Amino acid sequence: MNEKVRCLIIGSGPAGFTAAIYASRANLAPVLYEGIQPGGQLTTTTDIENFPGYPEGISGTEMMEDLKKQATRFGADIRAGIATSADLTATPKKIVIDGEKTIEADAVIIATGATAKYLGMPDETKYAGMGVSACATCDGFFYRKKVVAVVGGGDTACEEATYLSGLADKVYMIVRKPQLRASKVMQKRVLNNPKIEMLFETNTLGLFGDNGVEGAHLVKRMGEKDEEKFDIAIDGFFLAIGHKPNTDIFKGQIDLDDSGYIKTMPGTPKTNIRGVFAAGDVADSVYRQAITAAGTGCQAALESERYLVELAEAECELSK
């Protein structure tokens, strides 16, 4: 079963819904498929206090519902469904939904986001939104004057630990290796920070706490003769071991960087394929914030409108 649309948006986080709002107001009749996690990563966040317009804060789920309602109000066609394959080289572009329905679209906005990498412990799910976070900038404010731990040894982990050290009383860095793999300047920054304590050659076995994270079970030199198990008391547990952009179905068709993020032309959401635009975390390995994602969603919709106008003009010339 095939369906033809003018503008297809894949993904329903701040980028996708913002693109839907702008595309709808431009009379592009956008169709948006919500994807595997309707509302995106923000639906796993309890409170959001850094998105403009919510002075008292708001839950991630509520904010995404607000964005969805706003997009629907202007006429966006929002549907449940997951994009399972794509042919972006075709004209029009072809996206298969749930392995069954093919959507043909003149313009495509990819807003599929990026998924934070986790250690795989059941406790990470148990304490999601109750002390476990994958975004220090998003949630660090809630840990002022408290004790937190950051897992990871790269630049991202060092950046998160440094940021948290400006809020928390103490920051543990849990590093699996005997040394950091971050750049020298970032290593120097955390190693010289009196609020940051390094726990090298250490793995996390689990978390504990009655009404949220109260501590972590750790092991040093796991599997060695001098293996040592111990606990630390913490209020927050931050994962900083990377993100995986949700771009698997686009590989081999669109330009990606070494980490799998979609490459865009500087300052724009344009990809190497005309009529295909990327917005939000799927093309952003640096900021990964709701507000920046929303901004690129706006850009993608505006560029889609311009592209569709150009396409219509070209078709009109051909028909003469």
Q: Which residues are catalytic?
A: 135, 138-139
Estimate to the nearest angstrom the gap between the alpha carbon of 288 and the chain centroid: 6
Cα–Cα distance for residue pair 133/166, rounded to 1 Å = 17
Q: Is 139 helix (H, G, I), strand (E, B) or coil?
A: helix
- E strand or H helix at 23, and its extent? helix 14-25
Structure tokens at 175: 């590093």
Range 228-233, long-range pairs (CB < 8 A, 24+ positions): 229/205, 232/149, 232/172, 232/199, 233/147
Cα–Cα distance for residue pair 176/185, rounded to 1 Å = 20
Cα–Cα distance for residue pair 142/136, rounded to 1 Å = 10
Estimate to the nearest angstrom the gap between the alpha carbon of 7 and the chain centroid: 22
